[in-house]
């Protein structure tokens, strides 16, 4: 018991939680933006992979770290555009298009990586983002190490949460996104293009998702591995529902998940000798389901989610 409190009260633990949460924050914010506009984006797992590969590859080819971030975002936007074209004007099933995009983005990333680097026996590395040591702030007692020894991408993620909330609730575009996810005809009857709003949103959301992948190869680690996304994208889909499609709750959800994961790793070394490790690994998923049952069920989801819109058709 004491041990558990010790863990929860240590700044390093919370620093780890935030670090683990960072790719999830990007992912859930991206997924949330897409779904707010009425488009479920199951391409996320592939978009993560594409972002991880493209961002890393760009840096490796000499683009510089922020150049890599930009390239990752563009890669995400590219696959987002495919998903957007398939699901918005063409109105195809969002489930199957998303899974198709995941397949496509993943295999294309792998294929490009392998074809470009056929002879590596150990993954080539880049100089990744380093934690920012912000002079005064990082010296603060608990908060300092937890919050201010993170890499720039973590701060970007936190900023994106704020920016997304502001965008959704305070700007004309945000209103349009919310409306198009609820009732597309409300948007069309006000002279806006449903397709433009939805496609733009999906493309932008996918670009944000890709940053989650980029974080893995450019911040959490410094090389690209096959399969390294490891289901993180799917988690974000779950977190989106958990968050009731709200940016603030999305941040909390991602942090909770990160905390579970960080906690799980620490607890495993404590009692791992008599409890199977898999039980710990299950914990975040089980708790997510439990949270859904007790917290987030019956959230008012975007009513037009999954429903394609065709102009002039009934």
Ligand X SMILES: Nc1ncnc2c1ncn2[C@@H]1O[C@H](COP(=O)(O)OP(=O)(O)OP(=O)(O)O)[C@@H](O)[C@H]1O
Q: Which of residues 274-313 bind ligand X (CB under 6 A)?
A: 312-313
Q: In the range 138-197, which residues lie near other proteins by CB under 8 A?
A: 170-176, 178-179, 181-183, 185-193, 197
Distance CA 45, CA 225 (A): 14
Contact partner, 242, from other proteins, ligand X, none, Cβ < 5-8 Å per class: other proteins
Distance CA 218, CA 2 (A): 36
DSSP assignment of 76-131, as one string? Answer: HHHHHHHHHHHHTTS---HHHHHHHHHHHHHHHHHHHHHHHSTT-SS---------
Nearest approach in angstroms of CB 75 to other proteins is: 15
Nearest approach in angstroms of CB 310 to ligand X is: 9
298 or 314, CB closer to ligand X? Answer: 314
Residues 6+ apart with CB under 8 A from 175: none
Contact partner, 292, from ligand X, other proteins, none, Cβ < 5-8 Å per class: other proteins
Nearest approach in angstroms of CB 228 to other proteins is: 5
Contact stretch for other proteins (CB under 8 A) within 69-77, 93-101, 136-144, 204-212:
93-101
For position 277 contacting other proteins by CB under 8 A, the verdict is: yes
DSSP assignment of 33-57, as one string? Answer: HHHHTT---TTHHHHHHHHHHHHHH
Residues 6+ apart with CB under 8 A from 112: 53, 57
Contact partner, 92, from other proteins, ligand X, none, Cβ < 5-8 Å per class: other proteins
Return the DSSP state at 308.
Answer: -
Binding residue (CB under 8 A) for other proteins from 4, 8, 9, 103 = 103
The residue written with tokens 């490009």 in the block is 112
Residues 6+ apart with CB under 8 A from 64: none
List the x/- string, 44-63, binding to other proteins by CB under 8 A.
--------------------
List the x/- string, 237-276, binding to other proteins by CB under 8 A.
xx--xx------------------xx--xx-xxx-xx--x
Residues at the site binding ligand X, with contacts judged by CB under 6 A:
312-314
């Amino acid at each position: 018991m004491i041990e558990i409190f010790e863990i929860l009260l240590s700044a390093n633990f919370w620093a780890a939680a935030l670090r683990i949460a960072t790719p999830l924050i990007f992912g859930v914010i991206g997924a949330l933006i897409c779904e707010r506009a009425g488009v479920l984006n199951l391409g996320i797992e592939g978009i993560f992979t594409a972002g991880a590969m493209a961002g890393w590859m760009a840096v490796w080819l000499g683009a510089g770290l922020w150049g890599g971030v930009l390239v990752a975002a563009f890669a995400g936007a590219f696959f987002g555009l495919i998903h957007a074209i398939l699901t918005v004007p063409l109105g195809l099933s969002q489930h199957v298009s998303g899974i198709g995009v995941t397949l496509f983005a993943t295999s294309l990333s792998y294929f490009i990586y392998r074809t470009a680097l056929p002879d590596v026996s150990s993954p080539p590395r880049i100089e990744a983002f380093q934690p920012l040591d912000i002079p005064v702030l990082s010296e603060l007692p608990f908060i300092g190490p937890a919050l201010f020894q993170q890499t720039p991408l973590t701060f970007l993620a936190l900023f994106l949460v704020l920016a997304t909330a502001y965008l959704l609730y305070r700007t004309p575009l945000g209103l349009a996104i919310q409306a198009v996810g609820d009732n597309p005809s409300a948007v069309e009857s006000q002279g806006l293009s449903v397709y433009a709003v939805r496609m733009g949103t999906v493309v932008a959301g996918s670009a944000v998702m890709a940053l989650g992948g980029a974080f893995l190869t450019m911040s959490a680690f410094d090389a690209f591995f096959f399969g390294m996304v490891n289901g993180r994208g799917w988690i974000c889909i779950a977190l989106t529902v958990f968050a009731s499609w709200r940016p603030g709750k999305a941040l909390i959800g991602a942090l909770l998940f990160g905390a579970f994961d960080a906690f799980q790793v620490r607890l495993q070394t404590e009692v791992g000798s008599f409890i199977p490790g898999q039980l710990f690994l299950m914990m975040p998923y089980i708790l997510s389901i439990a949270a859904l049952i007790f917290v987030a069920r019956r959230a008012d989801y975007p009513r037009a989610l999954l429903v394609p819109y065709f102009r002039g058709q009934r």
